[in-house]
Structure 1
Amino acid sequence: MQAPSLLCYLLLLSLCSELCPAEGSAGRRQRRRRRMMHRGLGRSPRAPGMEPPGRSIPLINIDDSVVGVFDSLVGLGEHESTYSVLPGKKGQCTAKGMIMFDKAVWSPKPCVTCLCSKGEVICDTAMCHPLKCPQTIIPAGECCPVCSETASLLDSSIISLDDISELSGDSPDSKDLNTTNVLPSAPTQMEKHELLPTEVIEIRDKDSRKKGKRKRKSKKDRQRHKGRRRGKLPVPRTGAARDEQYESDEDDDGAFRISSHFTVPVPPIEAPPLPSGCSTSDTTVSCINAKLTQIPPISDPDLTSLDLTGNSITTISDEAFNGTPNLEWIDLSKNNITSPGIGPKAFKILKKLKRLYLDGNMLVLIPSELPSTLEEIKINDNQLHAIDEDGLKDLKNLVTLELEGNKLSEANVSPLAFYPLKSLSYLRLGRNKFRIIPQGLPATLEELYLEHNEIEEVSEICFNHTRNINIIGLKHNKIEEHRIAPLAWINQENLESIDLSYNKLYHVPSYLPKSLLHLVLIGNQIERIPGYVFGHMRPGLEYLYLSFNKLTDDGIDPVSFFGAYHSLRELFLDHNELKAVPFGIDEMRKLRFLRLNNNKIRTVPPERICRTQTNHEDEHDHSEEENEDSHLEHVHLENNYINTRQLSPHSFSCIRSYCSVVLKPQKTK
């Protein structure tokens, strides 16, 4: 009985001595040999350079799939394992004196997770990707730092790996580390684009035959060496040093060393979602009336249109559009943007911007450093009070410029302000304070609108350089016919439309452009149409609107429309003081629309609207003449004093459909 008792005592003593942390280096080497012999891993020495390569096994997140991965470590054949594990019984593990059942998971330290797998303790630690931002923070419940400005955007369920992290065991010198025994981990295209979030566990050979004595490093030396080695790959070992076995650190519970050769790429930082009230479609983002106070931080290089109409935005920083450099159209109308609130380079990054709308803000100056690609700018209804000679510089591609509803005048707009606009075709300066037509208009200008200003005259030098101008809008000003210079526009060859409505005209102006087709004189005090006033026009006036004036029968001569008989298509004479249908209408062969309503007309003689047919040789010629004169499609004569029962049946004989003649209602005395 003494022999079995003695044997049990010796086995117990041996087990205690193996688990005892306070012992000499020689004792540890002897136990290591016994443990390796017990596991069948002890071998005869190999010649230097003949060692079989070690292995690296990808480490997957600790879940049920881990078991299959670690089970594959059992049959490594002739290769030794470098896992520093505690031998368990019946699949159990021992950690700090506690028995852990198979598949048990615990956390001995923050951000460290261990697994008991068939008697082996396998631990994993959260590893952090190196950051390049100036300030970092560690969010609550997280193990890795993130950039402070994007901390709230990161998904806390994604853990990035840091460089080499050591849980236990002695830290070898960099010359003792081995890179020849790892799975291929060089940076490849797959690593850049499709690398899976895995870690690589390096398995190093254990050799029970250690030549010479190796001094154990102190804990302080290990910590210092760990700091030097962080972020570097192991370097090859030479000679018999490859057979050295690394001891376990007595402070850690059998954890193994993890080498992170594959780096998990940090997921791209997604831009924050669009604010409520915004919508997106293809390449457009629309945030109309979304109660925004600043431009939303959008990061989308494919975005081409951004509509922010009707918000409360006050500023535009220099970085506002850094995430959308390919914008072609921006609408910032109806906000509260001020000139000091716009950064000097806010729009400079937009190399493809073509349309910029800033209507309904609080700007006092045109923004600086606008991209030269702009083709259309709208800054209506602001508080612009000046445009200097550099206010529109570099905008050589600008085609449309709208600056209505501001405080501009000839006193604060430089004569050189429009000089850089080499492509300008459309200019709106209505609802400002101009008293004369602005000077220095671009030679390329085709349409000019100056409604609702205080213009009193049209000088002979106004349009000297605008030989291509086609439309001039001057309604709601203070122009009198004698303040229009004879040479102001008579020689213009492309000017086809002039709107002088609601001015102070008493007569239809003389010296109108030769090329004029469309003349609008509504809402003046015109009493007379001078004779031959349209006689010089080629090809001839087509549209004449004289509604809401003070025309009388004496104010229209038989030759007032001379020169327009062959061309006039629409004639508006409504809301005047005419008592009879004017002479000459029957001569207008192309007239289609005639308005004579709201006058004082009492009768319509047969020859005033439709030509009388006389001196025809036969009925056939008479029929052709009628067809030739039947161009009228609409005639308005309502609200006069016409007795419809007394009208001649020939008064409207040239009109094919009597439904086109409006006679009701009529006024009575």
Structure 2
Amino acid sequence: MSLKLILALSLFVCMTFSLAKDQSHPLARGRKRGVGPKRARKQTSITTLQQGRLPESNGQDGSIFIESYKNTKEPKPDYEATAGKSEHCVFRGITMYDKTVWSPKPCVNCLCSSGEVVCDQILCPALQCQLKFQRIGECCPICIDPVVDAPEYSGDSPVPNDLAEPFTGISQSQKDRQKKDEQERIRKKDADRKQRKKQKKEEAERQRKLKEVKDAREKEEQQRRVREEEEERAAAEERKRRMEEQRKAEEDRARRQEMEQKEMMRALEEAAERAQEGLRGDEATEDEDVVLLRGDVFQMPPVPPTRAASPLLLAPQEPTEPDEEDTEPGEEEPEVVEEESEMVTTLLPQGCSISDVTISCENAKLTGIPPLSIPELKSLSLQGNEIKTIPAGAFNGIPNLEWIDLGKNKILSSGIDPQAFKGLKFLSRLYMDGNLLEQIPSELPPTLQELKINENNLKEIEENSFEGLSSLVTLEMEGNLLSEGHVNPQAFKPLKELTYLRLSRNHFRTIPQGLPASLLELYLENNLIEDISETAFNHTTNINVVVLRHNKLDESSIAPFTWINHRKLESIDLSHNNFYLVPSFLPKSLVHLVLVGNQIERIPGYVFAHMEPGLEYLYLSYNKLDGDAVEPESFLGTFNTMTELCLDHNQLTSIPMGINEMTTLHFLRLNNNKIRHVSEDAICDPLNYDDSHLVALRLENNFLDPRKISPTAFSCVRSYSSVVLKPQRIK
């Protein structure tokens, strides 16, 4: 039976018994109402309990408070015997028999002992849980989650409230243990607080050090920027000063040159007048050397060219005195002729012009190299003349030339003296396009970096054709009669620095052998190439660009391992060949692929999937792609890299699959096809919420009705004005 039921029954029995006794003993009721010392103490105890206060043990108010009476031996109350033998207790108007136990409120048990009310407060054990719950009618809370480090229960320690009997108390050992646990908890809490305080201090110190380091770096960076700005300012001022000095020097030189030219013209006029006078005065002197100036004819005077004055120093030199043994004292004519000769050598042929250190004689109808004596000259253009030969010593008077253009003349290989370019120690560029050369000129300067022999009659490249040209970077031999059988495999071996080679418009059927390892760009368009072997590019591991347009290649002409493993080959142009499929085994590093003007009908699946990082530019215009040309996996590997895609001038009937997955596509051309419908997600992925990426979209000349296109079909285009839909073909 529960505690409440026992207490209720006890109270009911006591009240019944008390009423019966009062009715049978009226004197007892009157005596009980009397006021005595015991009665006063009982009232005080009752008043105290009614006010909700539990007085401590003082023995003066009629009730005492004991710490615990659990361990005292209490006999079971015998209500019948107690009623007649012992004094009763009155609690809140209710008479309690001696030894009666009741609970006036939770966690308080009271005992009627010899007429006094003795109450004991139940102490609840300390709980180590996070979540606590106190049941209705019970004094102590309980844990509703697993208890951490809960104290063990022994025979003398209190049990949980839901199992405790009304007389359960807490033993001294339990209190000591609780006190010890509380002290340990407080100690741990203090230790944790100290640890946190220490960590905060360390963190603050670390932040302070980081701030100091950051401030020091910022200060150093600021000082570096200031220093760089000062250096840049100083460099700019220095450049400005040098430019100003150079400008002044140029102005002085131009002014001096103008004065010298005027002086030269004046001296020339005087010399011509004296010559005319001499001719009129003595017609018999036909054997005398006469200098004639007739249009484009530029004859050398009898005086050696080394004595001629430079156009940059045009002031007439003092005539040398004639030898006394050869000239009579009164004879002055040789002096006049010598001065006249010196002046003539400074003139340029008709149609030539000079600018600073450059002379241009383009289309001047020259038949030979003009004899110039200008050591300061750097560039000479003789393009578009009728020059046939280059004799030895043709450039002796201009040894510092860096660039010579002999294009569009009539120079033959047999007309070039082996020593013609021997003395040019600084020559870096030589252009001989549009002549009649059949062989590479020999004994070219080792300083040469650029050689152009386009549009000639070259038929053969021998082993020693480029001997000594270790500095050559650019070589162009387009529009000749070369073929793979007439190019020695060892011919390119001396070209250690060659990076740019043009062999277009020749008669090659395969890739020429022996290409230098340094080669970066190879141009072989407009040849007859119909086969590319696996070893064609074995030695050119650094090659970056290969152009093979306008040849006779198809998908079976390229060996599988021709270039698939080339890590630097980024651009291939295979336009205007005979491809029916996009070729497989393309280089892994390919970025730019041009297949315009073929017969391509299909883009096989996974053809681009092996590329790293991926193809960016794909041009498939003017082919035969139709509705079945694109497979679901055709563009796999390009979704995150494709930037430009040209599929115009084909036979497509719908938007190819995979275009809406290209997140980096900027330019898309689908014009001049047979497209009749554009679905909502064909070009733009509706699930992609990133910023618009398409910059230009062309769909004109199809069979589209713009009114039937969904407004969201072009949501990924940055501007609707960039979408070209008109005109469309009439259905």
Instruction: Work out which of the residue numbers 617, 634, 656 in structure 2 matches 1:543.
Output: 617
What secondary structure sits across from 2:354 in the alignment? strand
What secondary structure sits across from 2:485 in the alignment? coil
Letter of the 1:352 counterpart = F
What secondary structure sits across from 1:483 in the alignment? coil
What secondary structure sits across from 2:556 in the alignment? helix
Q: Which of the two has higher C-alpha Rg?
A: 2
Change (3 A) 1:337 1:140: closer
Q: Does 1:660 align with 2:722?
A: yes
Change (3 A) 1:656 1:163: closer
Aligned partners of 1:398, 1:495: CA distance in 2, in Å?
Answer: 22
Change (3 A) 1:656 1:384: same
Aligned partners of 2:587, 2:414: CA distance in 1, in Å?
Answer: 45
What secondary structure sits across from 1:347 in the alignment? coil
Mapped contact 2:303–2:342 kept (Cα < 8 A): no
Letter of the 2:668 counterpart = L
C-alpha displacement at 1:162, in angstroms? 3.2
Mapped contact 2:308–2:373 kept (Cα < 8 A): no
2:178 alignment partner in structure 1: none
1:399 alignment partner in structure 2: 473
Q: Does 1:637 align with 2:637?
A: no
C-alpha displacement at 1:272, in angstroms? 4.2
Kindly indicate whether structure 1 or structure 2 has the higher relative contact order, using CA contacts under 8 Å at least 6 residues apart.
1
Change (3 A) 1:373 1:475: same
Letter of the 1:635 counterpart = L
C-alpha displacement at 1:273, in angstroms? 1.4
Provide, for residues 537-592 of structure 1, a one-character-per-residue CA deviation record: whole Å limited to 9, x for no partner.
Answer: 11110000000001112111011000011100000000101010101001000000
Provide, for residues 57-95 of structure 1, a one-character-per-residue CA deviation record: whole Å limited to 9, x for no partner.
Answer: xxxxxxxxxxxxxxxxxxxxxxxxxxxxxxxxxxxxxxx
Instruction: Work out which of the residue numbers 495, 498, 517 in structure 2 matches 1:421.
Output: 495
Instruction: Work out which of the residue numbers 318, 322, 332 in structure 2 matches 1:162.
Output: 322
Mapped contact 1:457–1:484 kept (Cα < 8 A): yes
Paired residues for 1:373-412 under 5 Å: 373-412=447-486
1:626 alignment partner in structure 2: 689
Paired residues for 1:294-373 under 5 Å: 294-373=368-447
In structure 2, stretches of 5+ residues that fail to align are: 1-277, 279-285, 292-300, 310-314
Mapped contact 2:666–2:694 kept (Cα < 8 A): yes
Mapped contact 2:289–2:302 kept (Cα < 8 A): no
Mapped contact 1:592–1:632 kept (Cα < 8 A): yes
C-alpha displacement at 1:655, in angstroms? 1.2
Q: Does 1:275 align with 2:337?
A: no
Aligned partners of 1:665, 1:480: CA distance in 2, in Å?
Answer: 35
Provide, for residues 235-262 of structure 1, a one-character-per-residue CA deviation record: whole Å limited to 9, x for no partner.
Answer: xxxxxxxxxxxxxxxxxxxx9x99xxxx
Aligned partners of 2:540, 2:721: CA distance in 1, in Å?
Answer: 46
Change (3 A) 1:357 1:484: same
Change (3 A) 1:663 1:322: same
Instruction: Work out which of the residue numbers 576, 579, 586 in structure 2 matches 1:505.
Output: 579
2:633 alignment partner in structure 1: 559
Instruction: Work out which of the residue numbers 492, 511, 515 in structure 2 matches 1:441.
Output: 515
Letter of the 2:440 counterpart = I
Aligned partners of 1:150, 1:319: CA distance in 2, in Å?
Answer: 12
Provide, for residues 151-188 of structure 1, a one-character-per-residue CA deviation record: whole Å limited to 9, x for no partner.
Answer: 99999998643355xxxxxxxxxxxxxxxxxxxxxxxx
Change (3 A) 1:151 1:479: closer
Aligned partners of 1:156, 1:588: CA distance in 2, in Å?
Answer: 75
Aligned partners of 1:158, 1:442: CA distance in 2, in Å?
Answer: 57
Change (3 A) 1:150 1:386: closer
Mapped contact 1:397–1:423 kept (Cα < 8 A): yes
Mapped contact 1:626–1:654 kept (Cα < 8 A): no
C-alpha displacement at 1:318, in angstroms? 1.1
Give the number of equivalent residue pairs: 428
Letter of the 1:647 counterpart = I
Mapped contact 1:160–1:264 kept (Cα < 8 A): no
Aligned partners of 2:528, 2:612: CA distance in 1, in Å?
Answer: 31
Mapped contact 1:502–1:521 kept (Cα < 8 A): yes
1:609 alignment partner in structure 2: 683
C-alpha displacement at 1:293, in angstroms? 1.4
Aligned partners of 1:499, 1:159: CA distance in 2, in Å?
Answer: 66
1:452 alignment partner in structure 2: 526
2:646 alignment partner in structure 1: 572
Paired residues for 1:184-195 under 5 Å: none
Aligned partners of 2:462, 2:477: CA distance in 1, in Å?
Answer: 14
What secondary structure sits across from 1:269 in the alignment? helix
2:42 alignment partner in structure 1: none
2:712 alignment partner in structure 1: 650
Aligned partners of 2:506, 2:402: CA distance in 1, in Å?
Answer: 29
Letter of the 1:456 counterpart = E
Aligned partners of 2:317, 2:637: CA distance in 1, in Å?
Answer: 85
Letter of the 1:655 counterpart = V
Aligned partners of 1:539, 1:333: CA distance in 2, in Å?
Answer: 44
Aligned partners of 2:317, 2:375: CA distance in 1, in Å?
Answer: 28
1:590 alignment partner in structure 2: 664
C-alpha displacement at 1:626, in angstroms? 3.1
Provide, for residues 112-155 of structure 1, a one-character-per-residue CA deviation record: whole Å limited to 9, x for no partner.
Answer: xxxxxxxxxxxxxxxxxxxxxxxx974479xxxx9477899999
Letter of the 1:161 counterpart = E
Aligned partners of 1:646, 1:596: CA distance in 2, in Å?
Answer: 18
Aligned partners of 2:696, 2:610: CA distance in 1, in Å?
Answer: 28
Aligned partners of 2:534, 2:706: CA distance in 1, in Å?
Answer: 50
What secondary structure sits across from 2:682 in the alignment? helix
The percentage of aligned residue pairs carrying the same residue is: 57
C-alpha displacement at 1:458, in angstroms? 1.1
Letter of the 1:358 counterpart = M
Mapped contact 2:305–2:373 kept (Cα < 8 A): no
Aligned partners of 1:511, 1:162: CA distance in 2, in Å?
Answer: 82
Instruction: Work out which of the residue numbers 447, 472, 489 in structure 1 matches 2:546.
Output: 472
In structure 1, stretches of 5+ residues that fail to align are: 1-110, 112-135, 165-226, 232-254, 614-624
Mapped contact 1:137–1:151 kept (Cα < 8 A): no
What secondary structure sits across from 1:285 in the alignment? strand
1:533 alignment partner in structure 2: 607
Change (3 A) 1:149 1:571: same
Structure number with the higher helix fraction is 2
Aligned partners of 2:512, 2:408: CA distance in 1, in Å?
Answer: 27
Letter of the 1:639 counterpart = N
Aligned partners of 2:361, 2:730: CA distance in 1, in Å?
Answer: 57
Mapped contact 2:619–2:645 kept (Cα < 8 A): yes
C-alpha displacement at 1:656, in angstroms? 2.3
C-alpha displacement at 1:269, in angstroms? 2.9
Structure 1 consecutive aligned stretches of length 4 or more whose deviation exceeds 2 Å? 136-141, 146-164, 263-272, 625-628
Aligned partners of 1:567, 1:335: CA distance in 2, in Å?
Answer: 49
C-alpha displacement at 1:265, in angstroms? 14
Letter of the 2:723 counterpart = V
Letter of the 2:689 counterpart = E
